Homo-oligomer: A and B are copies of this chain.
Amino acid sequence: MTDERRPRRRRKVQVVTMTDVAKRAQVSPSTVSLYLRRPEAVSARAGEAIQAAIARLDYVPNMIAGGLAAASSRVVGVIVPSVKNAFFAETVSALQRELGRARLQTLLGHSEYDHRVEEELVRAALSWTPAAMVITGLRHNAATVRMLRSSNVPVVQIWELGAETPIDMAVGFHHEQAGAMAARHLIARGRKTLIYLSSRTHQDKRAADRAAGFLATAAELGIPARHITHPGAATAELGGTLFSQLLAEGGDHDRIGVGCSNDWIALGVLFEAQRRGKRIPEDYAVIGFGDLPFAGSCNPALSTIRPPSELIGHETARLITTRLRCENAPYATSIDTGFSEIHRQST
């Protein structure tokens, strides 16, 4: 029993470390590190030895340690209102597929359309020193914007373009223009009165913008128009409710054009019209927004405005990977993805 001061030791936590690989391959740890990041910078002989050692030892690199040393990690923080919403699900899906190709991983957060939740999610994501941040919309708490700016991390704001200047980059379209297109479409089909059916516009500012664009265009073209909205989430059920409300309002119901802030609402209108024996498009022409999977196959097939959900993910990934590749890639880029008009039987 010696009186010797035993140095306190922490357990070795990781089973196989880079040092183990280096020992086995008879090279130094930094050569292994170099090989992992730029295999072409290492001699063929060393490369093969390292590769063999990795395979043999079943080595999984520790991104946490790498991230700390490099002061930046291979994660991208992505914040959307909700992945239950098919629009964002498509974007997230495309984004993740493309980021994955560049070996970037996705740290996902749902703000639930709440700016305070969003702020917390941004704070949490930034604590991972992410390689980039993706956030939905252009409007955020002041603190969120401040954090994002001072983080020096590339930021892409998605799904919206508008009056506000992006924090860094933006990929999306003008929702007023999408609403305007729906209005023009209905007017072109001879509708005498326009109605906009929407939901949750107090939270979903993009839906509110579409409504505003719809109503403004009707006004410009001298067509009477009004807006029926509801605080609930956009569902087929709510669409039925809104349509019933429209019918209950009475007045002149000759050649009405109905714009919906979302295809789910439009689908509910279709179902409710069917139940009440109203003809679509003869009595009521209906146009939605989203081109959701059912739009082409329902009865009648639904005319709609199709947002480029996948393209937004795709372009966002491209912007991020470009920026990460060369520091001096174009700054403050905005990409207007546009949207398209899908004419089917319901109008």
Q: Is A341 located at the chain interface by the 8 A CB criterion? A: no
Out of B62, B108, B264, B274, name the residue touching A127 (CB < 8 Å). B62
Of A184-192, A279-287, A293-301, the one touching chain B: A293-301
Q: Is A129 located at the chain interface by the 8 A CB criterion? A: yes
Q: Are A64 and B68 in contact (CB under 8 A)?
A: yes
Q: Is A60 located at the chain interface by the 8 A CB criterion? A: yes
A90: B residues at CB distance < 8 A: 84
Of A43-51, A167-175, A233-241, A321-329, the one touching chain B: A233-241
Q: Are A293 and B271 in contact (CB under 8 A)?
A: no
Complex-state Cα separation, A65 to B127, whole angstroms: 10
A75: B residues at CB distance < 8 A: 107
Q: Is A245 located at the chain interface by the 8 A CB criterion? A: no
**Chain A 103-115 near chain B by CB (<8 Å), digits 1 or 0:** 1011111101000
Out of B92, B112, B296, name the residue touching A83 (CB < 8 Å). B92
Out of B60, B96, B109, B275, name the residue touching A96 (CB < 8 Å). B109
Q: Are A147 and B60 in contact (CB under 8 A)?
A: yes
**Chain A 143-161 near chain B by CB (<8 Å), digits 1 or 0:** 0001100100000000000
Q: Is A259 located at the chain interface by the 8 A CB criterion? A: no
**Chain A 232-257 near chain B by CB (<8 Å), digits 1 or 0:** 00011101100000000000000000
Q: Is A116 located at the chain interface by the 8 A CB criterion? A: no
A268: B residues at CB distance < 8 A: 297
A240: B residues at CB distance < 8 A: 297
Out of B83, B107, B147, B237, name the residue touching A89 (CB < 8 Å). B83
Q: Are A293 and B274 in contact (CB under 8 A)?
A: no
Distance between A66 CB and nearest chain B CB, rounded to angstroms: 8
Q: Are B235 and A293 in contact (CB under 8 A)?
A: yes
Q: Are A73 and B83 in contact (CB under 8 A)?
A: no
Q: Is A142 located at the chain interface by the 8 A CB criterion? A: no
Q: Is A42 located at the chain interface by the 8 A CB criterion? A: no
A150: B residues at CB distance < 8 A: 15, 58
Complex-state Cα separation, A124 to B100, whole angstroms: 10
A109: B residues at CB distance < 8 A: 96, 100, 105-106
Across the two chains, which residue of chain B brings its CB closest to A13?
Answer: B71
Q: Is A219 located at the chain interface by the 8 A CB criterion? A: no
Out of B103, B106, B129, B147, name the residue touching A108 (CB < 8 Å). B106
Within 190-226 of A, Cβ neighbours of B (below 8 Å) are at none
Q: Are B275 and A129 in contact (CB under 8 A)?
A: no
A68: B residues at CB distance < 8 A: 62, 64-65, 68
Q: Is A82 located at the chain interface by the 8 A CB criterion? A: yes
Q: Is A14 located at the chain interface by the 8 A CB criterion? A: yes
Q: Are B14 and A71 in contact (CB under 8 A)?
A: yes
Q: Are B299 and A274 in contact (CB under 8 A)?
A: yes
Within 101-144 of A, Cβ neighbours of B (below 8 Å) are at 103, 105-110, 112, 121, 123-129
A100: B residues at CB distance < 8 A: 109, 121
Complex-state Cα separation, A106 to B237, whole angstroms: 31
Q: Is A86 located at the chain interface by the 8 A CB criterion? A: yes
**Chain A 60-87 near chain B by CB (<8 Å), digits 1 or 0:** 1111110110010101000000111010
Across the two chains, which residue of chain B brings its CB closest to A241?
Answer: B297
A239: B residues at CB distance < 8 A: 297
Q: Are A64 and B67 in contact (CB under 8 A)?
A: yes
